[in-house]
Every structure is written in C-alpha cells, then in structure tokens.
Amino acid sequence: MKQTLLILAVLAGCSPAAFAQKKPTPKATSATSVPTAAVLKGRAVYTQYCLTCHQADGGGVDGMNPPLTKTDYVLGDKTRLTKVLLNGLQGQDINGEEYHNVMPSQDYLNDQQMADVLTYVRNSFGNKASAVTAAEVKAVRATNKK
C-alpha cells in the first residue's frame, strides 16, 4: 500500500513527503495548565454540593448566595478560597455586594475533592486561574484555625 502511494505521488508530481504519515503534535503544557480530570471530577462535586446555592451557571442568587464568576474570592488567593470551604462563610461582602445566606463548612470533603471542585470553579463560568492541588488543600487544612 505504501509503495502504491509512493508511485502515485511521483506520477502526480508530488513530493513523497506529502503523503508521509504525520504524527500528532503534542499539546503544549505550561505551569498554569489545568488537568482535565480534575475539572471533570470537580464538576461532579460542584453538582452534588454547590449547584443548589451557586446555580448551574455559577451566577449565585442576588442578595443570598454570591456568584462564582470573576470574583476576587474565586480568582484570588487559593488559601483564602480553601478556607471558605473548610470554615464556611458569613457576613462578607463579595466584590462590594452583600449576601445574606450562610455558606456552611464543607470540611467533610476530602482534600482531593476540595482541590477538584476549587479547580473546577476557578476554571468555569468564564474564570481562568491555576489549579488547586490536594497537597495545597492538605497544607491549609493542617494550619487552619476557625
């Protein structure tokens, strides 16, 4: 089969290299690339535990539950965001807006689940931020003071 293609290429005036099998180019990776598996697992955790309050689009509910879209809490310091899951949140303005529902602690989630859901939130709803690792969550949990 290869010989036939080579002969056809020469007869057609094409370079045999034009018919060479091309290997896929590996995707570029960077220090800020986000693992797809973490995002998919994080979506499952979000659907189970977060969606009711923060909604399917991450938009929250005006005056009750804050949005997760492009807020300082989500895109900013990972330690602060991790502490929100560990300790819950109440009485904090989010980007200058008041929200009155209490966010309960989600400390029953294991380190990997927290890392995955935080990575998902930081990379969904128009957000783009670095991943959160289970090791980072574990370190915050170890030093967390409520």
Tens digits of residue pLDDT in 76-105: 999 999 999 999 999 888 989 999 999 999
* Cα–Cα distance, 137 to 115 (Å, whole number): 6
Residue 29 confidence (pLDDT) above 80: no
Domain boundaries, the chain: 34-143
Tens-place pLDDT, residues 107-144: 999 999 999 999 999 999 999 999 999 999 999 999 99
Task: Yes or no: say if 115 and 82 are a contact pair by the CB < 8 Å rule.
Answer: no
Q: Which CATH superfamily is domain 34-143 in?
A: Cytochrome c-like domain (1.10.760.10)
Confidence (pTM):
0.76
The length of the chain is: 146
Could you give the C-alpha distances from 133 to 31, 49, 97, 107, in angstroms and in order? 13, 19, 29, 16
Q: How confident is the model at residue 17 (pLDDT cuts 50, 70, 90)?
A: very low
